[in-house]
Structure 1
Amino acid sequence: MPELQVGSQRWTVAPGVNLLDALRAQGIAIPFSCRAGSCHACMVRCSRGELLDALPEALDGARRAEGWRLSCQCRVVGDVCIEVFDPLRDGLPAQVVELHWPAAGILRLRLKPQSPLRYRAGQHLVLWSDSGVARPYSLASLPDDDPWLEFHIDCHAPGAFCDAARRLREGDSLRLGELRGGALHYDPDWQERPLLLMASGTGLAPLWGILRQALRDRHQGPIHLVHLARSPAEHYLAGELAALALAHADVQVSLVLPADLDVFLAQFRLVSRRTIALLCGQPASVERFARHLYLAGVPRGQTLADVFLSHA
């Protein structure tokens, strides 16, 4: 039977057991979210032995060389020694510099990291609360333009991280974990192609950064941003989006409510089959957007999507 070691704890497990399950069954508090290798919240370091990794490409070469693995994607096949990610030791400190609630249940959070963080619009970053709760969130800020890291956090439902976020005050500290590339980004090769950005809820966060990057890089094609929200108040960037549309003739913004979505999609027409579509939000909304775009003639290879999962 393989032996697992974490610090002073040693115990045997069944061959082939999922590492995340084995750690949590032993009472070791490993944060996790998606269980699909996307969020990187469950990262651990393998300091001795080896694991059967179902998704080795999820981490970059430098991280893998240091022994880091995603516990949700690994199975225990032999004796291994594991070091749990410690946000105090391994995380980058960041200070809360601004908190704003643009709508009830939606937090616009701005953080200033202790040292500069290199990232691109649309990437994800794992945030750690002071109580050790970790969740991945998309960056809404724009590298080189914004002096902070910005996140839009949906706090409508109770949850460990949301509960901690509601208690945050300016000057508080968080720790930053793994930075990773999401599916969404802006490619300079798209300069003359129509862009369609479709978001539901706080799925608007990465598209807000990508939209501003496209405009900063002097995008030549038309841009249409669609935001689906549960109520008019939850179109939380309506004013800023209207200002961008007013300043840029090729930018169109559509703010849609659930009751109007069917009519909106039925009337929606593509500018061109060369359109690049970027989708983000809850699974049902993203699936609905993607299905309509496919029927409308957008090739699947021109549709990129990030799905936000609910976290406890």
Structure 2
Amino acid sequence: MLTNLSWNYVGRLHNDFLNNLKSINALTLLLNRQRIKLRMALSTLGLILNLIGSVNPNFMPNGDEYAVIIKDTIESLMKDYDVNKYVTIESMRRGNDRAYVITIRASSSLIVRLMIVCGNECEYYIDDRVNRARINANVYFQLVMKALMIMNRVFNIDTPKTLLTHNPTIYGKVLTINRNEVIALSIWDILRLTDVISKEDLTVSDISNIVDTAVHEFLHYILDRKYLVTSTFMRMAKRIPSVIDDGVIHELIAWTLTPHVSKYVAECIKYGSADTVSNTELAIQYPIKRRHALTARKIINELLTRLNGECS
């Protein structure tokens, strides 16, 4: 593992991480495997979040924001993520030092690694994927900010605060922090896009791919802020939508519109104008009820009228 990968030096480890390192030995891993892997995964994700977020501090959560981000990630790791399967910890001798390699997988192809070498002090290294994400993260941040500004003008709605999270089970989501909805974009969205954002000349397709997650979550934000699902469903079905109704319609609209809005925004960024989008088929992921389809179609048609070629 140490020789097969290219490692990039970052710096010394802080005390919180060192305390977690002390718990790594054969006996504790045997008796408390999941708990230790969970702690090491959180510490590793925190390091990567800080590295990538330091490129643009405006995206970094702080105070109450960070507490919500941590809580959300822990809940996802415990409920939606197989820590034992997707987090590995290797310990080995490296001369007179001890080295640890922590591997975290978001999918079979999306993997990050951190190496820690401890002698008199402990220093850490990141793999090439994390290093390239850190180097090129500003491209991602700048394009996301441009995309949100364009959507703000096109859909005539305030731009929500946008923060980074380190949740490995998502690329993005809308979170409520201090009663305000914010868009949380995962470091894993940047990590999956390292090959794209490192290009010198980005095409419309490249830009669309980069801003896709931010656009998807902004669409959810629009639906919430304007109460579009509730008001439209009540007019058409003559009753208040259930949680299931609301969720199904939300996803129908977001999955249908995201590729079209992402391309529209990308054209605005690239050329300053965009092609009009007038109609699209519903992106049906699973069997749905007629009332869901009708409500989604009504809202989609309303939002599509905004995509008239103007970018401001």
- TM-score if structure 1 supplies the norm length? 0.29
Higher helix share: 2
- TM-score if structure 2 supplies the norm length? 0.29
Higher strand share: 1
